[in-house]
Structure 1
């Protein structure tokens, strides 16, 4: 008699779980939302590095202080994201992934459009940076639920053998959003300085409205995944936030530490542009082209490495994608310091476009599989947003500080990146490999852990 495997038994017991899955539609819906989210974040980071320091935080006596303050506002949206996770995560597990995806779509898009309408410091004084920070806070609060809901939606709609590949389109969307934001900004950097500072910088923010409309049309037809619908019908499931804090604290902390890899992205897409243009004096439009090329390469790399992770496992691909950028950040920043354009393009593309994509492309599945379905959005949102708050909130400002008042020391920021990557690798090594498990087996795994945790707590 042929033995019944756990996955086969799960399929026999609940044959309706795979019915109604729409992996392609879920992947597209997740892709477009992530593209909007990271378009908004990237367009702000680019503007902060190039113009917002002059328009909203002028300091005629020390321009470096204005740059530092502008970089700090980049981090504001990251620092507030854990609070957004506390709000949006439970909403996603209570009312559905689609509910949060529609809510955050309009919050993020509306805040971005509003930034393009704000008056400058010259026009209204201190009110200008205050309004700017408010918009960034709204972006951060809503982004916390957007990504976790999109990843959970695509994971639960995915075919079992292609979960990493399906969820990778969420991060492919982030790369496209970053690429689009940078590409949109380049023509405006070529405007006369007066036109750029008066109206040119506003247009990239206004264009987010186009993405919002497109995302709405796609998402309004998306259905909740069958796995969520089944769990949602369970009246005894409890409060998602309470369950996470009671049974899944270790997973939240593991993801928060692993998410330190985001430091690489923040230093590459935000701080290195500031360093190159304000510290070294390199051409800003050419530096933006480095980001465009790296992100264009990442568009192809992310789904490919995700397919690899479905075959060989999450952990080896993720760890390789953390170790590589930790090493290549040194020659990349060194090339900027030397003003060597060929090496800047080579190391930037290799580091961010290929190696960073190895971790960036597969963390959605890697992290999301650390939680059962009933608390996936809450746990994933908390873990990632705590990590992003630390790495994204601190990286631009701390790298600017480590570079010195003249922005002439690139070694300190490079060491900082290596330390954060080491933390990420250490966290990943403690995770369980889940590539070969079905979602039902993952639920059982976490259910057993919850039982052990509850027994230990009552002992």
Structure 2
């Protein structure tokens, strides 16, 4: 049930809301810059750098296994840091996550390759991915919670959509950087060029940290800060498991539908395109770049639309489009025709993936009660991300190697989109809910 009573707390000023929005956007920009750069490197060259002792197909799968490792540890980091954030506030988690993410990504750019140190190279890569995953486990949830809790009731969808705007900007930035370094001769790319995007991420880290240190804590959390800081972490978990499990299951399904299809288009299919006859390694990143630019327009518009007609209705429409377009989209990509590939990415990634994510931010935050909101959002996002985005490239790489036909990719996309669609259909509408109440939306 949606509670539309008035929150009796001092709302932040417009400049404070803007700073909070910028801070959250920058953090998610860094996270998805890391995510896309790592995904592109995994899809295109990491098998040669860290798994050169394996046959190409096995090296490709091994690379996606390290990609999945980051998602495996994300729920652990998210659930631990989420409970801390429910006790002491969202701001401190936002600062901590951006520091840890920056350190891990920078360190990847300094790693030795398999030819230099042997099996130690992939081990060190996995260590960096574990640290990266632990930190990012609470990044999206803390950013979306702080931004949506700080936003005016009537504009939460719009403000929350800037989490997706940040991820899209990260996609855009990472893709541009990768396209630039891919212009290097192959020998230079494999020797030192690939390191530049990882080492260069430190600039985003310092910028994000500087802005986040000046952000005000969520006024919603401030209204109960004294109470929450006296609560033990075990009580936060108890509240979540006893009253938040229904909201978790719905949000878990929403995240699978969004995150899983995102990973297949933005990571796996980028590498798949490079294997098509007559295609180079730049076609996939180029299509992703165009879709990301298009997303800069669609994301805020979809956020505004969710404020007008509701989160549930917008998510259902977008998930339905993604489901129906699954087979046509992969078929277009498999033709190898550049125009067809770009059209497929515009619809599936530029509209559906970005729109689902833009809607998801406010949708999930409004679903949970205040006592365990950050724990609930992190658990939903990260466990759903693991089940959807984390294992999708690895699973489909193995299945495609066995079956050898593009239809399995379309089938997997359809299944993931269908899960998100079902979750939205059975969920309540939560637009405009009072975020200061302890009870969940369902």
TM-score if structure 1 supplies the norm length?
A: 0.91
In the TM superposition, 1:361-440 aligns within 5 A as: 361-404=358-401, 408-440=404-436
| Residue 252 (structure 2) aligns with | 256
Q: CA deviation at 1:280?
A: 4.2
Q: CA deviation at 1:357?
A: 2.5
* 1:123-182 Cα deviation digits (max 9, x unpaired): 000000000011111111110111111111001110010011111111110010011111
In the TM superposition, 1:19-168 aligns within 5 A as: 22-59=16-53, 62-168=55-161
Q: Does 1:247 align with 2:243?
A: yes
CA distance in 2, matches of 1:84, 1:104: 10
Q: CA deviation at 1:39?
A: 0.4
Task: Indicate conservation of the 8 Å contact 1:319/1:359, yes or no.
Answer: no
* Secondary structure of residue in 1 paired with 2:78: helix
CA distance in 2, matches of 1:337, 1:142: 36
CA distance in 2, matches of 1:97, 1:445: 19
* 1:172-214 Cα deviation digits (max 9, x unpaired): 1001001111110111111111100000000000111000011
CA distance in 1, matches of 2:124, 2:361: 33
Q: How much is the aligned-residue C-alpha RMSD, in angstroms?
A: 1.8
Paired residue total: 436
Q: Does 1:291 align with 2:291?
A: no
Task: Indicate conservation of the 8 Å contact 1:35/1:173, yes or no.
Answer: yes
Q: CA deviation at 1:233?
A: 1.6
Q: 1:444 to 1:103 in 2, by over 3 A?
A: closer
* Secondary structure of residue in 1 paired with 2:372: helix
In the TM superposition, 1:329-340 aligns within 5 A as: 329-340=326-337
Task: Indicate conservation of the 8 Å contact 1:320/1:358, yes or no.
Answer: no
Task: Indicate conservation of the 8 Å contact 2:42/2:63, yes or no.
Answer: yes
* 1:264-318 Cα deviation digits (max 9, x unpaired): 1111111112211135451111221100000111111111001000010001101
CA distance in 1, matches of 2:58, 2:394: 11
Q: CA deviation at 1:79?
A: 1.5
Runs of 5+ unmatched residues, structure 1: 450-459
Runs of 5+ unmatched residues, structure 2: none
In the TM superposition, 1:193-208 aligns within 5 A as: 193-208=186-201
| Residue 342 (structure 1) aligns with | 339
| Residue 266 (structure 1) aligns with | 263
Task: Indicate conservation of the 8 Å contact 2:86/2:371, yes or no.
Answer: yes
CA distance in 2, matches of 1:249, 1:280: 48
Task: Indicate conservation of the 8 Å contact 2:274/2:283, yes or no.
Answer: no
Q: Does 1:317 align with 2:314?
A: yes
